Structure 1
Amino acid sequence: MSREDVEVRRSRRRRRTVSAYREGERTVVLIPASFSAAEEERWVTRMLTRLTAGDRRRARGDDELQARAAHLSQKYLGGHARPTSVRWVSTMGRRWASCTPGEGTIRVSDRLRDVPNHVLDYVLLHELAHLLVPGHGPAFWRLLASYPKLDRARGFLDGFAHAEGLAPGPDENPVEGSAGVEGTQPE
């Protein structure tokens, strides 16, 4: 990224903090008004490095998520679920994940980046199953029945939802018969 693509905004209210974000093709760096030119240059360089590392991590993360979904589809669904894209998103407030079967897209909340692998695998498998069967009827749950850590992963998500203060909701799994919590089931 060239220096022309960076806008530095100085603020008299800022005392010590520096932040940066992408605004379209431009990067905006917010600094205290009291910074010298040398401090500004040092912080702009530092923030560009951080943002670039984050961009690479997110891109790599989406590729890894896509590969993980392909592996799970092959292993548990005979390779029949073939999403066009699988990616992390930061815009999900109450759901763990969602899919749009017509487009073949799967989106996973970035709140799940640090969950155990068996939990992420369940969430991905849940969304992959929706590419094959809409809704949460018996046929849907039969697709997931071969996943050995299904109950364990759902229990983890129930606890995670409770910790995040999500309200209880109706049971979505008539086959399993366990209590569900709205927002704990991938959509």
Structure 2
Amino acid sequence: MPADPLNSTSRRAVEVRRSTRRRRTVSAYREGDRTVVLLPARMTADEEARWVGVMLDKLAAQESRRMLDDSDLARRAAALSEQYLDGHARPASVRWVTNQNTRWGSCTPAEGSIRLSHRLQGMPEYVIDYVLLHELSHLLVPGHGPRFWRLLEAYPRTERARGYLEGVAAAERLPHQPVAGEDPAPVPEEGPDSVTGEGPGRS
């Protein structure tokens, strides 16, 4: 999968460091131009792949909460349009709104306006980028026909972002019931650029 230059995570190399002293916790932080993920030494390769993905998403979500305001959205929309739509989609305004609880985004082609639900705030940047690109494409093509989806084919994380949003929507429809063996949700450590979580329980 090609790297997405608009995503800060994809620009950084990932270094995994294992420790025999680490039993359950998984941590990640930025170190210059790379991301360091700290894992228990006993983790399997599959567990490592899963937790690296989880921690990268957590860091990206943490950064998007800090950084993206309306002006950031407008800049990202312009960059996405240039990269994936040859600059043809040119919104007059892009902003967060708090009155969209059943849609992730919307646009009014006649006005050139794009609105993103505040519920996206704190989600990984690639998810926000996907919703932005989705609405930018609607400025060019109404509806969700084949021509519309062809515009989104160039974005390498379309399916991953759609899966993420579908998972969030499904979770919101049902009260959360913890299941046996469920991993606790990662909890931020102190400091702006570090996150931590609980890995598989092993003695």
How do 1:21-100 residues align onto structure 2 when only pairs under 5 Å count?
61-100=69-108
Cα offset for 1:163?
A: 1.3
Please name the residue that 2:141 is paired with.
133
Equivalent pairs: percent with the same residue?
64
Please name the residue that 2:39 is paired with.
none
Cα offset for 1:93?
A: 1.3
Cα offset for 1:164?
A: 1.3
Cα offset for 1:122?
A: 0.4
Aligned structure 1 segments of 4 or more residues deviating by more than 3 angstroms: none
Partner AA of 1:108 in structure 2: L
Please name the residue that 1:123 is paired with.
131
SS at 1:92 equivalent:
coil
SS at 1:79 equivalent:
coil
Instruction: Provide the C-alpha distance between the structure 1 equivalents of 2:148 and 2:100, rounded to a whole number of angstroms.
Output: 23
Please name the residue that 1:105 is paired with.
113
Please name the residue that 1:149 is paired with.
157
Greater fraction helix: 1
The alignment covers a number of residue pairs equal to 110
SS at 1:146 equivalent:
coil
Q: TM-score, normalised by structure 2?
A: 0.52
1:125-146 alpha-carbon deviations (Å, 9 max, x no partner): 0000000000000000000000
Is contact 2:101-2:119 (8 Å) kept?
no
Cα offset for 1:149?
A: 0.4
Root mean square deviation of aligned Cα = 2.0
Q: Does 1:165 align with 2:173?
A: yes
Is contact 2:89-2:136 (8 Å) kept?
yes
SS at 2:138 equivalent:
helix
SS at 1:83 equivalent:
coil
Q: TM-score, normalised by structure 1?
A: 0.56
Instruction: Provide the C-alpha distance between the structure 1 equivalents of 2:122 and 2:173, rounded to a whole number of angstroms.
Output: 18
Instruction: Provide the C-alpha distance between the structure 1 equivalents of 2:100 and 2:77, rounded to a whole number of angstroms.
Output: 19
Runs of 5+ in structure 2 lacking a partner?
Answer: 1-64, 175-203
